[in-house]
Homo-oligomer: A and B are copies of this chain.
């Protein structure tokens, strides 16, 4: 029993993340009232049909009235506009957070728009699937997954602890991090793999038509994993590329260098170099497996 409960939580955006939040908030009784806003009428009807909240509107300013927690779950490129729309309707002392994958950009977009009387605490639950929309959400999405908070200097401690407790109640393990550092880590562990996956699928797609069908037929041998990553929400990924541009170009540059070296080792038939590379990567897999074992142990909240 977490004990954390908000009078009113406003969810702006009700896609995979927003609708998963709605479900877990209901399940864990984390809010007296859930108000939902989304730009698209069609999506709003779907959310209502699924009974994800208590009130529904296409007007985000309307949704945030009296809310003591506002969670913005929209593609990162839309964060600034949303902040501008809700700024004048926010309750005094409300916590405003988001779930975007590029924190420095979200901060620079939102902070100038928001009034001083709210607690703006950027966040990022590292959780997702290749599916999107309100039907794709599920209450267990955050269970045992990391949620990283990237508080800006001068953040109110009490508000931070409260938001932290909220994510723990949703099942997450939490961590706090500098926004720029977060963006570099995420560029490496998430953005680069997705970009590579999108690119490799593109390469396959550009092959001659006859080969294309066989690529699909024999996809089980490695290619398949990439198709999953590359079927995530396109608007979300476009925005991540645009809003975490510098960190992504940094890791992409490093990756291109490494790939060029590997390509040369293949061209020069450098047997020893290939064997060495293909051996030491095994150790990282071992570390990842060890990390996963830890997941089954109880979370102790933030560090």
Contacts and interface: CB of A to CB of B under 8 A. Distances in A.
B223 A193 contact: yes
A226 interface: yes
A195 B222 CA distance: 10
A267 B238 CA distance: 12
A222 B189 contact: yes
Interface in A125-139: 126-128, 130
Q: How many copies does the complex hold?
A: 2
A271 B288 contact: no
Nearest to A189: B223
Interface residues of A, number: 88
B201 A274 contact: no
Interface stretch (A10-18, A57-65, A212-220): A212-220
A189 to B, nearest CB: 4
A204 B258 CA distance: 10
Interface of A: 126-128, 130, 145-146, 148, 184-186, 188-207, 211, 214-232, 234-235, 237-238, 241-242, 245, 248-249, 251-252, 254-256, 258-260, 262-263, 265-267, 269, 271, 274-275, 277-282, 284-288, 291
